[in-house]
């Protein structure tokens, strides 16, 4: 069995996950493929970024793997864990964001990661983190229920309390405090997970990583052929502005990557290709655009009454 200090099994899984997800999404797109860009971090480690652009379905997407290490950690890592100061670290993970061309297809995000901090004559400190979340531009009940059902089913073998716990954490994390507004309709988010022991936590990470395609691909297939207007595309770009705001202002992963000297292009591959802001813009009352904000973004139990 892997030990907490043996990262080889985790790294092998993550690299394979990147391969499987990028291959499946390229097949779903049908016209574009991912290009790979390998990079090295001067302070230690590196990664490989895979980017898809201008596809039939995916306007821009990125699936990145990174494995970085160093002698000390930045303030973003030690702010809530001061006991990590002075330890060497390794951090590895797969992070992805898919920005579709069609505004009827939601943007999706997923991340799975492992972190270990060590120093001589002390037990290592390690944890897993990750999850996946959905950011629709036009609300659809079936999509939201499906997304959360897959999340629920991935968590179910680990205890009945796991899905509601990590679902609530996701709702609270992907929240734009300066807007008093959720980024999307959530999913799962967890961090600092080590309470079940290494083997069980690693099993959970694999369950979440493997569930992403089951959650997203059916939504792509249901929505990819829907017609849309120039006004709907403009609204998608307006809502993408909220995505950018969250990633640059609140996201801990973005801050960690930038503060540890990660590759900026790879860290910011999550940003959409086109985006707009409009001063004090409000949707028309009763419109589908208003319904997104009023009915879909407030946290709710998507599986209530679902079979």
- What pLDDT, in 10s, does the model give residues 5-38? 578 999 999 999 999 999 999 999 999 999 999 9
- Among residues 219, 239, 244, the alpha carbon closest in space to that of 57 is found at 219
Per-residue pLDDT tens digits for 181-201: 999 999 999 999 999 999 999
Q: What value does the mean pLDDT take over residues 161-178?
A: 97
Beta carbons of 205 and 16 less than 8 angstroms apart: no
Higher pLDDT: 89 or 149? It is 149
Give the pLDDT of residue 136. 98
Q: Which of 254, 256, 130, 252 is nearest to 193 (CA)?
A: 130
* CA distance readout (Å), 229 to 135, 152, 232: 19, 34, 5
Arithmetic mean of pLDDT over the chain: 92
- Each residue's pLDDT tens digit, 90-120: 899 999 999 999 999 999 999 999 999 888 8
Q: Which is it for strands 35-40 and 45-53: parallel, antiparallel or unpaired?
A: antiparallel
pLDDT band at 306, cuts 50/70/90?
low
- As a whole number, mean pLDDT of residues 46-70 equals 94
* pLDDT of amino acid 2: 43
Mean pLDDT is lowest, of 84-88, 158-162, 216-220, for 84-88
pLDDT at 5: 59
Cβ atoms of 79 and 86 within 8 Å: the answer is no
The verdict on whether residue 95 carries a ligand-binding annotation is yes
Catalytic one among 67, 80, 104, 109? 109
pLDDT on residue 264: 86
Is 262 marked as a binding-site residue?
yes
Please tell me whether 225 is known to bind a ligand: no
pLDDT of residue 76: 63
Q: Judge whether 109 counts as a catalytic residue.
A: yes
Question: What does the pLDDT average to over 201-219?
Answer: 98
For residues 250-265, average pLDDT: 81
Q: Is 109 annotated as a binding residue?
A: yes
Residue 8 to residues 12, 123, 169, 179, 282, Cα–Cα distance (Å): 6, 18, 29, 41, 50
> 263 among the known binding-site residues?
yes
236-257 pLDDT per residue, tens: 999 999 999 999 999 888 887 7
Q: Which domains does the chain have, with CATH numbers?
A: 7-296 (3.40.1500.10)
Query: What would you report as the CA-atom Rg of the chain, rounded to the nearest whole angstrom?
Result: 19
């Amino acid at each position: 069995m892997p030990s907490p200090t043996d990262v080889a099994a985790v790294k092998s899984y993550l690299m394979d996950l990147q391969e499987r997800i990028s291959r499946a999404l390229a097949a779903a797109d049908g016209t574009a493929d991912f290009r790979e860009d390998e990079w090295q971090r001067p302070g230690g480690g590196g990664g490989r970024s895979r980017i898809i652009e201008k596809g039939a379905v995916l306007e821009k997407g990125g699936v990145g793997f990174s494995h970085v290490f160093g002698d000390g950690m930045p303030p973003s890592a030690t702010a809530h864990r001061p006991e990590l100061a002075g330890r060497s670290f390794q951090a590895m993970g797969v992070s992805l964001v898919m920005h579709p061309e069609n505004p009827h297809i939601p943007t999706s995000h997923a991340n799975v990661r492992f972190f270990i901090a060590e120093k001589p004559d002390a037990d290592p400190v390690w944890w897993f983190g990750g999850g996946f979340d959905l950011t629709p531009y036009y609300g659809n009940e079936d999509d939201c229920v499906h997304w959360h059902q897959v999340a629920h089913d991935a968590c179910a073998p680990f205890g009945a309390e796991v899905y509601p716990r990590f679902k609530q954490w996701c709702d609270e994390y992907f929240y734009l405090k300066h807007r008093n507004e959720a980024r999307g309709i959530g999913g799962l988010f967890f961090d600092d997970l080590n309470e079940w022991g290494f083997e069980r936590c690693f099993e959970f990470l694999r369950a979440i990583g493997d569930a992403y395609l089951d959650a997203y691909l059916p939504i792509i297939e249901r929505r990819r052929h829907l017609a849309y207007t120039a006004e709907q595309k403009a609204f998608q770009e307006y809502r993408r502005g909220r995505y950018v705001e969250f990633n640059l202002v609140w996201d801990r992963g973005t801050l960690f990557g930038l503060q540890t000297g990660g590759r900026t292009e790879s860290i910011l591959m999550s940003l959409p290709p086109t985006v707009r802001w409009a001063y004090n813009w409000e949707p028309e009352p009763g419109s589908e655009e208003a319904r997104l904000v009023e009915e879909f973004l407030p946290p709710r139990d998507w599986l209530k009454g679902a079979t």
